[in-house]
Amino acid sequence: MTARTLTQRLAAFEPGTLFAGTDLALDDNVTQVIDQQAHCLDRFEFPNDRAGYDFFRNRLAQLQQRHGAPTVLVGMEPTNYFWKLLAGYLNEHALAYRLINPYTVRKHREGNQIDRSKDDHRDAFTIADILRSGHYTETRLLTGQYAELRQYSILQRRLARDHGRQQQLLGTTVGQVFPELRQVFKDLTGNTARAMLRRHAPAAVVAALSVDAFIAAVRADNPSTRLMPSKLRQAHALAQHSVGVRSGLQAFQATVSSQLQTLTLLEAQLETTQAQLGAVFMALPAAPYLLSVPAIALASAATFLAEIGDPAHYNNYRQWTKLAGIQPTPDTSGRKHYSRTPMSHQGRPALRTMLYFTVLRLIQIDAGFAHAYHTLQHRQPNPLTKMQAIGALMNKLSRVLWAVVQQPTFYQPQLAF
C-alpha cells in the first residue's frame, strides 16, 4: 500500500467514526468497538444466525446513537466462509465493512503482545485497531452473474483436481498388479485401456486366458466400445512374464473398477460444469472482447472474469496485476539483494496461472508479444531472463485486457505495442 493510498483512506474517515473489529468463528463471533483514539467502547458476542446478526446490527446502532458517531465501519478477516455470511447481511442493510488480511492481524498482534498470547477478544481489538489505521482491503462480495461464474469456476477447478488425483490412484493400483501395462497404454483412461481394466486389470488374470479368449472377454464386457485388438494382444504378451502381485487380486480388481466408475462420474460432472460455466460467461458483456485476444480460450477468459469479478469495480489495470500477484516487488536491504525475481506471487493463483499460460501462447502466435519477448531478453542495459520477460509480458497482458474490457473494443495487435 502506498502512502498516498493510506492518506486517502484515513481522510475518508469522518470525525467520530467508530470501528467494529469482529473475530469470526463457527459458533460465536466476538466484536470490539473502538473510537478513533482506540478507546474500547463496547465488546460483545453473537452467533452466526439471523437473530445474532440482528443483535449485532442493533448493538452497533445503539453505540452510534449514544456517541453521536456519523457511521460505524465493520472490519473482519476473510475467515473460511463465515465472512461471506456476515458480509451478505451487512450489504442487505447498507452497512460498510472492510476485510483485514489474517497475516496482518497475526503480525500486528505479535508486535503488540511480545508473549504472543491470543484470544478472541484480543483478535477483535487488533482487527478494529488495524481498521482504524487504514490497513484494510476493499474486497467486494460478488453478486449476480459474477457470483455464479466464480462458483462454477471453483467447482470446475475442484473437479479437475479430483479427476487428476483419481487418475494417479488408478495408475498406482494398476502398477501393483500389472506394472508393464504402461508400455502399451500411456494413458490408462483411454477406451481400450478402460475396457480391459474393468474386469481384467491383474496380469495374472490376463495370463490365465488365451489371447483370443482374453480379447473376446473384453469385447463381451464392452459391446458398445470400439477397441484396438493390437493393443490387447501386446498387453496379453506382457502379462505372461509380468512381475505384478498375485495375491488379493479380487480386491485389487474391485478397487480398479471403483476408480474407473469414479473417473467416469467426475468426467460427466466436469463436462456439465464447463457447459454451465461457458453459458454464464457468454452472457456477460465483456465476453466477446476477451475472446477477441487470439490466445484466450473460453475457459481461460471465464477464469479471468471469475477471479476479478465485475471489471467496473476497478480504477486501473494495476489493481488487476496486484490481484494476480504479478506486480514487481523489490526485496533489498542496504547492499543486499535477496531476490532477482520481482514478482510478488501474493495474489490469486488461478488468475496468475491463466495470465502465465496465455502469455506463453501469445509468444508463439502473436508477432507483437514474440518481438517484445525477444527484445526484453536482449536489450542493453538490464536484459531480462526468460522468466522475467514472461513476467513483464504478463503485466502487459493485463494492460491489454484492461483496454479491451474497459473501452470496450476488440483486440487490435497493431495497437498493443
Q: Note whether 3-141 and 148-278 share their fold.
A: no
The reply to whether omega before 381 is within 30° of 0 (cis) is yes
**pTM for the predicted model, two decimal places:** 0.86
State the average pLDDT over residues 199-224.
95
pLDDT of amino acid 11 = 86
Please state which of the ranges 165-169, 374-378, 410-414 shows the lowest mean pLDDT.
410-414
At 167, list the grid cell.
487418475
pLDDT of amino acid 337 = 61
Of 112 and 239, the structure prediction assigns the larger pLDDT to 239
Side-chain half-sphere exposure of 362, counting CA atoms within 13 A? 28
Q: Where are the domains of the chain?
A: 3-141, 148-278, 287-330+340-416
State the average pLDDT over residues 321-325.
91
State the average pLDDT over residues 194-211.
96
pLDDT of amino acid 1 = 56
pLDDT of amino acid 4 = 59
Residue 339's pLDDT band (cuts 50, 70, 90): low
State the average pLDDT over residues 96-107.
89
Residue 381's pLDDT band (cuts 50, 70, 90): confident
pLDDT of amino acid 277 = 97
Q: Cβ distance 212 to 189 under 8 Å?
A: no
pLDDT of amino acid 249 = 96
State the average pLDDT over residues 226-239.
96
Q: Give Cα 346 to chain centroid, integer Å.
A: 12
Q: In this model, does residue 88 exceed pLDDT 70?
A: yes
Q: Which fold has domain 3-141?
A: Nucleotidyltransferase; domain 5 (3.30.420)
Give the CATH number of domain 148-278. Answer: 1.10.287
Provide the percentage of residues in the chain whose pLDDT is more than 90: 77
Residue 188's pLDDT band (cuts 50, 70, 90): very high
Q: In this model, does residue 187 exceed pLDDT 90?
A: yes
State the average pLDDT over residues 50-59.
97
Across the chain, mean pLDDT equals 92
pLDDT digit string, tens, across residues 115-172? 666 677 889 999 999 999 998 888 888 889 999 999 999 999 999 999 999 999 999 9
Instruction: Specify the 3-state DSSP secondary structure of 36.
Output: coil
Question: DSSP characters for 294-307?
Answer: TT--HHHHHHHHHH
Residue 37 class from Cβ within 10 Å (0-12 exposed, 13-18 middle, 19+ buried)? exposed
pLDDT of amino acid 328 = 77
Of 332 and 9, the structure prediction assigns the larger pLDDT to 9
Residue 144 class from Cβ within 10 Å (0-12 exposed, 13-18 middle, 19+ buried)? exposed
